[in-house]
Amino acid sequence: MPNKKNVIDYIRTIPDFPHEGIMFRDVTTLFSDPRGFRICIDQLLSPYAGMRIDKVVGLEARGFILGGAVAHQLSVGFVPIRKKGKLPGKTIEQAYKLEYGDAVMEVHDDAILPGEKVLVVDDLLATGGTAEAGIKLIERMGGEVVSAAFVIDLPELGGRERLANMGIDTHWLCEFGGK
């Protein structure tokens, strides 16, 4: 009988990337394995069975891969929230702080309609800055964030608490200690 693997078993850790002292959690190894990717998407979806979700938002960039797959499985629309300057057409933007500086995210101003129920998806929850910026954009358009789902949580960086303080339910598949 083959060994049963969990999502965490498919994730590669790369030391000192992008800076010394950082343990980078690489999900590309998870994405490239068909069984691992299937397990990941199924587990991201499971808490939302039977729940009304109108749109899935994926946060740049790995959230696009996960969010697209989740939206497909839910048979709902997918909305990318991107770094500033990457989307054509009229957008709204939200500035936020990263672990290493500042950034701006944007979304098409008509991507989410008032009252739509939205699931936010990304690969990693660290400080929560990117997720918070995405949630603020959704809420500015009148959407209601039902939850935020992540493959990895880094609890020591406080993102989970940051989103909880915003009233956002979070779901994650695995967690790693440290940065």
Q: Which residues are catalytic?
A: 62, 99
Chain centroid to CA 8: 16
